[in-house]
Structure 1
């Protein structure tokens, strides 16, 4: 293990020691001399089956969140950038999807939550939606994040969304021993509509010198 710092390690605390080494290397953040990392791979499946309502979703979530495509074997790139708000680390992520119907982008920010073991996820560029994610380590040493609450910003207020219009987010950052590459599996579900966003795939990852 290393003495590096990241939002994930702060949220997990002592539980981070149960991460498998390959996953720990990824979530520990960039080493000294680097502020970002880049991964390029293929999503086995990516996007939303509700392509036609992507425009309505953008009204709530803002730009760079809703995806109006749903395809298989989608090349992608993820860029993670380490930032900070005062003494608190922050992770800014950008995912670029190369759909056959054209490129799409999904961005979000992660910060350590006030509740132990949690992260605050703000998807999109406008910060209209805020998700509280609970972090844990799976039995096979992967990182799991599951949403506990969703809030939407209205003016200066943040209102908790009722269950019927809210979403349940599950993210698993893992490692495939068989293929020796990093894996990611993300699902976003609504109690009424079912799965509204999904992407699952693999990628190699490297840090970029500052």
Structure 2
């Protein structure tokens, strides 16, 4: 199988910084998972978001829901092929806030028309994603409009209700570690949520049996748009 970012970037994958090529060169045949940990300098959840909405997203592990600084976090990546035959990269994040741990889980899928990022245990949210290579070989992800997912029709969020995500990950030569910056913005309100900070990562042997249950959404979501 082809790693999800290599499939999305094609030949441009080789323009990523070598450390990012290593980090995202694994796939479902590699026999490894990647375990990362570091500090988030800032985590933000806009107070304009309705409390019932925030509580639901916290319960379903689909977005950061608490504002704080200097938050230790872990991020564990697992690769597998789902029941629809798609190469997947599951990302399990845990933010270790002083008031208790908060999880944000997502599943990046090499879909029929490109990358799709599903967020939450349901999954709850869908972002179509465009990958590119930025400055100094950084990985840049920019999403189309967010879609709400349910057991019924997909609900697209556009215009003043829209939300788009951007994620940038690069290599910090000075400190020998990765940097990450994730933001979800609304055209009216501005920044809805963000997290940004640094981490280090290592490969760890991993078979299909070693992948935790949380790496699979509660239901197989075939919708990609």
For the criterion TM > 0.5, the same-fold answer is yes
Q: Check the 8 A contact 1:64/1:125 in 2, yes or no.
A: yes
Instruction: Compute the TM-score of the two structures, normalised by the length of structure 1.
Output: 0.88
Q: Check the 8 A contact 2:16/2:133 in 1, yes or no.
A: yes
When residues 74 and 132 of structure 1 are mapped into structure 2, their CA distance, relative to the original with a 3 A threshold, is same
Match of 1:96 among 70, 94, 111: 94
Match of 1:12 among 4, 9, 13: 9
Q: Which runs of 5+ in 1 are unaligned?
A: none
Matched with 2:209 is: none
Matched with 2:162 is: 166
How far 1:60 moved relative to its partner?
7.3
Q: Check the 8 A contact 1:54/1:68 in 2, yes or no.
A: no
When residues 60 and 66 of structure 1 are mapped into structure 2, their CA distance, relative to the original with a 3 A threshold, is closer
Q: Which runs of 5+ in 2 are unaligned?
A: 207-225
1:197 alignment partner, SS class: strand
When residues 49 and 156 of structure 1 are mapped into structure 2, their CA distance, relative to the original with a 3 A threshold, is closer
Matched with 1:55 is: 52
How large is the Cα RMSD of the aligned pairs?
Answer: 2.3
How far 1:35 moved relative to its partner?
3.3
1:23 alignment partner, SS class: helix
Alignment pair present for 1:138 and 2:134: yes
Give the distance between the partners of 1:162 and 1:32, measured in 2 at CA.
38
More strand by share: 1
Residues matched between the structures, number: 205
